[in-house]
Amino acid sequence: MIKTDIIIIGAGPTGLFTVFEAGLLKLKCHLIDALPQPGGQCSELYPKKPIYDIPGFPEILAGDLTKNLLEQGKQFEPGFTLGERAETIEKQEDGSFIVTTNKGTKHQAPVVAIASGLGSFEPRKPQIENLLDYEDKGVEYMIKEPEMYRNKNVVIAGGGDSALDWSIYLSDVAKSVTLVHRRNEFRGHLDSVEKVQELKNEGKINLITPAEVTNIFGNGKVEAIEITKSGEAPAIVETDHFIPLFGLSPKLGPIANWGLEIEKNAIKVNNALDYQTNIPGIFAIGDGNYYPGKLKLILCGFHEATIMCQAAYKIINPGKKFVLKYTTVSGIDGFDGTRKEAPKAVVQAIN
């Protein structure tokens, strides 16, 4: 039995930042994730994709954000159960919870924080008859290592941020990039749309709209695709890779059977207080929760984790008063006995 103060289900950015916020309160965390490494989607789906809305970082790669969060939290010595899925949860007579994984590993804590993001997920696939024949043979649904596309001909399909961002990124890597979207309008950020248009005008991206990829050709691997544009005869385009980026189809998995209140395929929480679910002691933070006005952004998950940890402290230490101290003044005490002092100049300036 692994015992801790807070069981965190999900080792994505929100779960990893929870370790730091809990550590400031002298609370120990143990994280469970079905993936074999921490980082969630940032590590598994797009480690080389730049993120632009993390405070203090004009641009940071998703993989580097994961590394930074791990470095930030390691002083508080979190535990990890990786490559295992949280399967069941049982409430004990003393009010604590036991979370058991699909491999039988048991974890016990008075507080559970579900930071599982979208849960388990599968890529949304286009309706192309022979698509499955070319999976891992030139058809990819996510980009893990951009260097594999260097000096290759690449066709990307989609109209959201992922399709736009990767088209922009690969325009400096691939031999050619073709972006196909079934509409003239895109769903992504305006800056990305404008950048794609700029690269099209420079001849670095071949933009085809409104159109769809309707067939794939090749002998054992992708060699060409058929693009059908509205009002025109189908055209054959030679390519080495076809990457349909139509998003993910999220599923909560076993968590959906835990008696939690579900709304809009997410866990409903009380955002007016502390992001607690309908079961006292179980919280949901990050992309996997729902409340009116919810925004599925990493920075929102960081905020929710901070508030949740304050509530967790009160559950774990009933009747004990906690005084909030700014790290710029108090410094940071790690579980290993080390201490990072706030710079004297900062303390004096605040005082």
Q: Which amino acids are annotated as binding site for FAD, given as ranges?
A: 14, 33, 41, 46, 86, 121, 287, 328
Q: Where are the alpha helices (DSSP H) in 123-227?
A: 161-170, 190-201
Q: Where are the alpha helices (DSSP H) in the chain?
A: 13-24, 41-44, 62-73, 161-170, 190-201, 298-316, 327-330, 344-350
What is the 3 state secondary structure string of 317-334?
A: CCCCCCCCCCHHHHCEEC
In the three-class reduction of DSSP (H, G, I as helix; E, B as strand; rest coil), residue 219 is classed as: coil
Q: Is residue 282 packed enough to be buried (19+ CB in 10 Å), middle (13-18) or exposed (0-12)?
A: buried
Binding-site residue numbers are 14, 33, 41, 46, 86, 121, 287, 328
End-to-end Cα spacing for the chain:
46
Q: CA 79, CA 206: separation in Å to the nearest integer?
A: 47
Q: CA 206, CA 154: separation in Å to the nearest integer?
A: 10
